[in-house]
Structure 1
């Protein structure tokens, strides 16, 4: 199946840790410039099964919005078969950092330092330049910054985001955003001043490429076709 295809592709490209993206909503509903709806960090790990035995595979470290409390989120580990279960389109974003960055990401996860980067106040269009709100992609970006700069200082991480990372402008009408803010706590622009910009899978890919911190970045389709990011 597609989840196994993604795992094989990552393994063939020596990915011990990589950024993974999926499409969880119909493509036509996505704002201009946004190609993936969920981003997370996949790490090759020893996985303990229900019967107590151990297998090796990719564990995916996600920030997930709560279904029953959309203004809050939790950190949840799942696996590719779960990750792609609700995908609207069978395509995966794959960004494989350089070996040095992968090593630091693995250390961050194994020491559980990434958990301290979580901000449970959720917004689907969170501003990556401050700590007021966070979404899945911003959490992934913050993990990257913490690993690369070897810091858990949130102020420093946000300063680095502001200095070096270029977010995606969100092209949604002010009325739609205002209605969204009233309808669900999962959509708010209270953490923005002026134009709404947020972290996306693609902008993380561009950021790593700009500073020569990625070794491979593609969109993988179910038919095996790949497209460079």
Structure 2
């Protein structure tokens, strides 16, 4: 990413939502999809306004991961009274299907306008002390961002060569939880693992990798050891593994989820 684009990302320039994370072909969302995104954004904003929290975790369904047993494909930190708006999502996005990424700030409508599979969402509120510490770390951005610009969709958890959107979330949360300031990725992930974080395992058979056309700029299997590639069982930080970690470690204060526009009485599979 050149210096201009890096500056644009961190001055919170809002790219067209449909351009983030795909191959950057020009896409025009229909009025109906924009209306659905706006409706979801209003739903999320109303729920966020009901609780006195500086930050929460918000998840969406951008890709159909049902074959891997997953629901939510992407998440970000939604920050109260951000310079860009009352509720702004700060998250890592792959740049146009390339091997690069950037950190972006988007309004809720943009966040839910990214040509999603559906408009399901889940919001997780953190325990107050954790929320305050995380909000403090996010206020330092772009300093101490723990962002690594080389992107890999199946980045090896704890690896130094690549990063994906979910790994960035875990590392940022760990940097806020740790008793001492953490300003490097390796230390942050090591703390998360010691604190109980366990990545998911995603099975990608060799035939799928070769015949399924999975050799793309934003997927690099060589980030994983040979033994992993031979078995096809890849450890990956998923949104589900983040939810599981927050619950098991006792960092979750409250959860609300909407499926098909309806508020769920209890959260469904993640």
Identify whether the pair has TM-score above 0.5, normalized to the shorter chain: yes
CA contact (8 A) 2:209 2:215 kept: no
What does the per-residue CA deviation read over 1:116-166, in whole Å, with 9 as the maximum and x for residues that have no partner? 300111111112222221111111111101111131132211212333211
Give the Cα separation in 2 of the matches to 1:4 and 1:88.
Answer: 19
Give the Cα separation in 1 of the matches to 2:206 and 2:89.
Answer: 34
1:165 to 175, 197, 200: 197
What does the per-residue CA deviation read over 1:57-111, in whole Å, with 9 as the maximum and x for residues that have no partner? 11111111111x5111011110110000022211112111111111011111112
Any idea what SS the aligned residue of 1:196 has? strand
Would you say 1:140 and 2:169 are equivalent positions? yes
- Residue of structure 2 in register with 1:42 after alignment: 78
Unaligned runs of 5+ in 1: 49-55
CA contact (8 A) 1:6 1:220 kept: no
Query: In terms of mean alpha carbon deviation, does 112-121 or 94-103 score higher?
Result: 112-121
Distance 1:77 1:8, change over 3 A: same
- Residue of structure 2 in register with 1:95 after alignment: 124
Unaligned runs of 5+ in 2: 1-38
Larger Rg: 2
Distance 1:15 1:183, change over 3 A: same
Which 4+ residue blocks in structure 1 deviate beyond 6 angstroms? none
Would you say 1:175 and 2:203 are equivalent positions? no
- How many residue pairs get aligned? The number is 219
Query: In terms of mean alpha carbon deviation, does 169-178 or 198-207 score higher?
Result: 169-178
Q: Which has the higher contact order (CA 8 A, sep 6+)?
A: 1
- Residue of structure 1 in register with 2:133 after alignment: 104
Distance 1:178 1:121, change over 3 A: farther
Q: State the 1:19 CA deviation.
A: 1.1
Query: In terms of mean alpha carbon deviation, does 150-159 or 57-66 score higher?
Result: 150-159
Tell me which protein shows more strand as a share of its residues: 1
Distance 1:214 1:119, change over 3 A: same
Q: How does 1:1-229 map to 2 (within 5 A)?
A: 1-25=39-63, 27=64, 30-48=66-84, 56-67=85-96, 70-85=98-113, 86-112=115-141, 116-149=145-178, 150-163=181-194, 164-178=196-210, 183-193=215-225, 194=228, 195-226=233-264, 227-228=266-267
Give the Cα separation in 1 of the matches to 2:216 and 2:144.
Answer: 26
Any idea what SS the aligned residue of 1:89 has? coil
Distance 1:110 1:208, change over 3 A: same
Give the Cα separation in 1 of the matches to 2:138 and 2:213.
Answer: 33
